[in-house]
Structure 1
Amino acid sequence: AKEIHEGESRHLAESKRMLQQSFETEKENARREERRRVQLDLEKAHEDHAREIEDLRRKHERSLAIAQQQAEVEAEMLRKEHSGEQMLSKIAEQVQGQVRDLGLMSRKIEGDK
Structure 2
Amino acid sequence: MRSLDISDEERKLILDHPERARQLSPVVYAQVLSGYRKGFRLVFIILACLAAFAFVTAFFLMQQRTLDRPDDKKLKEEGKEFIAQLKGKKEAAPKGELPDAPEKRAKEHSESSNV
Normalising by structure 2, we get a TM-score of: 0.34
Normalising by structure 1, we get a TM-score of: 0.35
Larger Rg: 1
